[in-house]
Chain A
Amino acid sequence: EDQVTQSPEALRLQEGESSSLNCSYTVSGLRGLFWYRQDPGKGPEFLFTLYSAGEEKEKERLKATLTKKESFLHITAPKPEDSATYLCAVQARNTPLVFGKGTRLSVIA
């Protein structure tokens, strides 16, 4: 069974304090690993798709990396508007996305 474990469950950062979120996964035949951002009361918003170990994607202050067993979402010099829940999901071939529980990030000014 495909599984996704995210850590930490919650993270509190000062503005400008860089950190990383972890996503460990077990999947048969990875087709893609996805990162989403979710604000309270809203649906998840797509950030990145990673397909193979060694791949990296960047968007503003966010950078996602992928190995054969885990993915990291690095947040550089975060701002209060980066506060949200970050969700990781994996997809095996021809199956729907399986999500982790997410990491709740709070960035304090």
Chain B
Amino acid sequence: DTGVSQDPRHKITKRGQNVTFRCDPISEHNRLYWYRQTLGQGPEFLTYFQNEAQLEKSRLLSDRFSAERPKGSFSTLEIQRTEQGDSAMYLCASSFPQTVNYGYTFGSGTRLTVV
């Protein structure tokens, strides 16, 4: 297992278009998280799944955002009708909370630019 994979690494889209990002977590990890990070800021929580169940969504997650994790494996994050304010790095992480000294393992992120 090579860690958490995110695709694509970079995405440039025109305002108003829809975009979808994919995250493949570490296979043994049952929790998957989405965060958003803008320049000079720390990651901000968006939503997370335990297996296939979406357990929590941040107030930051407007109705234009939707996330899924079918069958508890990979996850997708879709943004509809993108706005310039959506430009950010979208980070995915996974974890297995039952392990000692657990920490989230992050992917390299998808950088979204809305023009």
**Residue-by-residue, is A48-90 near B (CB-CB < 8 Å gives 1, otherwise 0)?**
0100000000000000000000000000000000000001010
Inter-chain contact B102/A49, CB cutoff 8 Å: yes
Number of interface residues of A (CB under 8 A): 21
Chain B residues near A (Cβ < 8 Å): 4, 33, 35, 40-45, 48, 56, 91, 93, 101-109, 111
**Shortest Cβ gap from B47 to chain A (Å):** 9
Contacts of A41 in B (CB 8 A): 108-109, 111
Contact indicator A99/B43 (Cβ below 8 Å): yes
Residues of A30-61 contacting chain B, CB below 8 A? 34, 36, 41-46, 49
A43 and B33 form a contact (CB under 8 A): no
Give the Cβ gap from B106 to chain A, nearest Cβ, in Å.
Answer: 3
Q: How far is the CB of A84 from chain B (nearest CB, A)?
A: 14
CB distance B42 to A100 under 8 Å?
A: yes
A residues bordering B, Cβ < 8 Å? Answer: 4, 6, 34, 36, 41-46, 49, 87, 89, 95-102
Bound state CA distance, A97 and B103, in angstroms? 10
Least CB distance from A85 to B in Å reads 9
Report the minimal beta-carbon distance from A2 to chain B, rounded to whole angstroms: 10
Min CB distance B1 to A, Å, is 15
Q: How far is the CA of A45 from the CA of B103 in the complex (A)?
A: 9
